[in-house]
Each structure stands twice: as structure tokens, then as C-alpha cells.
Amino acid sequence: MRVVVALGGNALLRRGEPPTIETQRRNVQIAATAVADLARDHQLALAHGNGPQIGLLALQAAAFKATEPYPLDVLNAQTEGMIGYLLEQELMNALPSEGRCATLLTMVEVDASDPAFKTPTKPIGPVYDAAEASRIAAETGWIFAEELPGQWRRVVPSPVPRRILEIEVIRYLVDAEIVVICAGGGGIPTRRSEGGRLEGVEAVIDKDRAAYLLAMEIGAKALLLLTDVEAVFENWGTPHQRPIRRAVSPEELEAMEFDPGEMGPKVEAACAFVRATGGIAGIGRLEDARAILEGRAGTLVTASKDVAPAVA
């Protein structure tokens, strides 16, 4: 079966962990083990988030006063290369000797008139307290939003992905049984100028929305959105929060409210994929990838919640 797997940036650099390469490599090893297990039975395209990583690069760039900071599209390309390298290396260690994988820098076209450019919502970078966020905002002009009480993160525009420019290459690689690491960080945001030239855009595309587009474009039967939480939580952030550990229909999930910067895009992508294809979508921990696909862990979204998923 053809499966698109999307790894959250917070699953590769977890909350509260030091942002070192050793920390990320350790988490990538966990991800690679889960992905390699799925690759034994399925054709895979692997996307990943980059929120913590691109935020750190942006912070480093802003601290270097000798030149203008690099724009977000260039920083996204840097993170695609960095995370793709780590994932590809650890996948090569985890796959059988005949296993093959490849990392592809991926440009994704967006609409310059997307309303997201007027309302930044996509969190990137580390968590700050209110005083530190206020100081950085004054120095850089960045916009911050409070994710949880007392926890502030930078937010940037997150336009809807419209077209994956390298999609034919991705299809070719997946058809050849190669695990493709692509659309990292949602892909490099680009647009066409009035003269038809490709140019970068100062934004970050949500990787779950990009993974949905990728799954549609390669004819995937399943979409896995993997993160650092065990499932979708109903009433998240309240004393009544509880994980949804069962099959659920798109209609049931869409009747609930979710954080627009975190779980919201995952639920949106999962519901849209199931409704468009009749396939299955799973949300949960990356360590539970196979169990989620088989309906034994996480939250599984299906066209009919009374029907067990077919994963053969």
C-alpha cells in the first residue's frame, strides 16, 4: 500500500529538550526505526516538520548583525537538507541492505494573495516566557503568540500549498520502491512572478497540509500524521481532556475544536484526505506508526468508524 508519513518537527526536537544535534539524531533514530518497519510492507513518501529547527536558524541569523538575516524560504531549504540528511542516514542504517531512500529538496507553490500573509499563525522556534518574547519582538519585529499559559512562540504566515513542483520526480521514486524524504517543513514556499519566474516567499507552509497534498498527488491510500502526543485529545488543555483512542469519522472530528497552530492542521488534513479518497488517516506518536496504521494506537480517521481499516 502507498502511504505518506508526516513527522512533526516537535517529534524530532521534543519540547524541553536541548536543541543539540545529538538530541535530534537520537530522535531521528527513533523515527527511522518506525519508518523502516513500515517500509518492509508499503511504498512510502516521508515528509517532516521543521518548526523548532527553522526557528533556531532564524534566531541565529538575527543574532549575526554583519548581514541581513536569510529569508524563511532559504532557511526552509537549509532545514530540508539538514533534517533530510539525518533521516536518510538513519534510514540507511535501519533498512535492510537492499533498502533505498532519497532526500529531495521540494518547492511548493502558494498563492501570493493568500489571506494567511495578513494573519500569521504558524508557530516556529523555541518556547519563551512573556518577558523574553517581548524583548525579542522589540529587537526583531517578530510576532509572538501564547500557545499555552506562559509559553510564547514566534508565529509566521502559513499559506495553503497549491502545487508540488517536483511531484513527477517523487512519483517516479516511489514507483521504484524508494523511500522518498520530501516536502520537508511543508516544502520551500515559492510563487510565480508576473513574468513567470519562480521566487521564494517569506512564509512557512504547514507540513500536514503539504503532506495531504502529497498524498493526493501520489495516490496514497493512507496518511499518517505523527507527532509527540499519543492521539488527538478532546477538550485539550482543560481538566476534561482525554485521548480519542478509536476510529472516528471526519464529521465527528470536525465538530470539535482544536488549536489552529498545532493539532488543528493535522485534523484538517486527516479529515480532508479521508473524505476525498475513502482511505484512512492516523494521528499519534511516531513510535506507534505501525500500530496506528493497523488501528491499534492513536486516533484513526476513517470514512466509516465502524469499519476496521484494511492495511494489506
Residue ranges of domains in the chain: 2-112+159-220
Q: What's the CATH class of domain 2-112+159-220?
A: alpha beta
Q: Are 259 and 248 spatial neighbours (Cβ–Cβ below 8 Å)? A: no
CB atoms within 10 A of CB 114: 19
Q: How does pLDDT run along the chain (312 residues), one tens digit per residue?
A: 999 999 987 767 776 777 788 888 998 999 999 999 999 999 999 999 888 888 788 778 777 777 777 889 999 999 999 999 999 999 999 999 888 999 999 999 999 899 999 999 888 877 889 999 999 899 888 899 998 899 998 899 999 999 999 999 999 999 999 999 999 999 999 999 888 899 999 899 999 999 999 999 999 999 999 988 899 999 887 888 999 998 999 999 999 988 776 788 899 999 999 999 999 999 999 899 999 999 999 999 998 655 444 443
Q: Write down the residue that cell numbers 512562540 correspond to.
A: 153
CA 244 remoteness from chain centre? 21
pLDDT attached to residue 305: 52
Q: Write down the residue that cell numbers 508576473 correspond to.
A: 194
Q: Choose among 153, 92, 145: nearest CA to 119.
A: 145
Distance (Å, rounded) from C-alpha 186 to C-alpha 160?
10
The pTM of the whole model exceeds 0.75: yes
Distance (Å, rounded) from C-alpha 279 to C-alpha 220?
8
The sign of the dihedral angle between the CA atoms of 3, 107, 55, 80 is: positive
pLDDT attached to residue 147: 84
pLDDT attached to residue 306: 52
Task: For Cα atoms 99, 54, 208, give the angle at the middle one, nearest 5 degrees.
Answer: 60
Q: Are 190 and 76 spatial neighbours (Cβ–Cβ below 8 Å)? A: no
pLDDT attached to residue 253: 93
DSSP H helical ranges for the chain: 9-12, 21-39, 51-63, 72-94, 130-140, 167-175, 207-218, 250-254, 263-277, 289-293
Burial class of 67 by CB neighbour count within 10 A (0 to 12, 13 to 18, 19+): exposed
Question: HEC profile for 20-57?
Answer: CHHHHHHHHHHHHHHHHHHHCCCEEEEEECCHHHHHHH
